[in-house]
Amino acid sequence: MCRLSCNTGGSELRFVKTLLECPLGCHAKLDSMIIVTGANGFIGSALVWQLNQRAYSHILAVDSVGLDQRNLLQGKAYSQFLLKDQLWEFLRSPKAYEVTGIFHMGACSATTEKNWEFLKENNLEYSQKIFQWAAKEQKTLIYASSAATYGDGEMGFDDQSPSTDFEPLNLYGKSKLLMDQWALEQKVTPHHWYGVRFFNVFGPNEYHKGSMSSLAYKAFHQIKKNGKLGLFKSYHPRYQDGEQKRDFVYVKDVIHWMVDLMEATPQNGIYNMGSGKARSWMDLAKAVFKSMNQDLNIDWLEMPNDIKNQYQYFTEAKMQRWQGQNLDESQWPLEKAVEDYVQNYLQKGDSLL
């Protein structure tokens, strides 16, 4: 029997009598439960969508933000929704036996957060508890790290370098790096575990993130409103205005890769999740203007003082470890990804995956 909740606001379960009636098709994988924390956030909700595309529907969705406040899970198939502090009671229950894997995406993702105790509790201690449970029960764990762990990039962006080499530029990056270092030091680990360092992820479902949303999202709405886009000037002699570079990666690549990790179970450890190719802010801006059939029009802005000293001028994921495990390469180069995002989601009223 296929148990689903194609949720439109409630949390009740809908029972489908036969696999042939299941909206996910007759190959729905019903023998295991997948936990997704941060499921009502950007990457987490997109991941639930990707799991549905891969015929997983027995999903326990967990988040600190309730469905009455925001519902990015609308229309997706999952079994149950819990608030983040309710997860521990579930993990102590007999139902937890059904769990085969955990995607831990829940965290404070604000790079400007100044409250270290808040970050320590949510990004480090909560993650450590999940890691320890997965180790004890031998469940596959994939947790969200960040390219912010690499700091200013002077030590490179190689996921095979010792984590002790890096010095993050902000407390958010520190919280993620401490988790990576702690995980790598553990003697008892989940049989399969992966910390994934996200680079500049953008795409559908990020609409609630405000100042932390991607430039692609902000650019679309600025151009739509004013016909122009504001970009920060450069304060680094190596980079002209607009030539600061980032490793932009589409959310559809990221969620595809994470499910691949769960299914392929390659070597444990830390993996970069980026395109592997740094592109400039101007490259991204041009792609958005082109996708909107608008002429390029840039307004150069002064960078706020509070981020000048923690600004990354260049990021580029080293993907050799990933490639060495014979895992899929990016399917969404920047221009193709921006076109898909703009024309199939943003121009349709910020529609969800």
Active-site residues, by number, are 172, 209
Distance CA 102, CA 126 (A): 13
Distance CA 88, CA 311 (A): 37
Nearest to 274 by CA among 232, 317, 309: 317
Q: Are 238 and 127 in contact (CB under 8 A)?
A: no
Nearest to 351 by CA among 202, 201, 220, 205: 205
User: How large is the C-alpha radius of gyration of the chain?
Assistant: 20
Distance CA 43, CA 255 (A): 7
- Quick one: 179 exposed, middle or buried, by C-beta within 10 A (0-12, 13-18, 19+)? buried
Distance CA 82, CA 65 (A): 10
Count Cβ neighbours within 10 Å for each residue of 64-91 and write b for 16 or more, e otherwise: bbebeeebbbeebbbbbbbeeeebeeeb
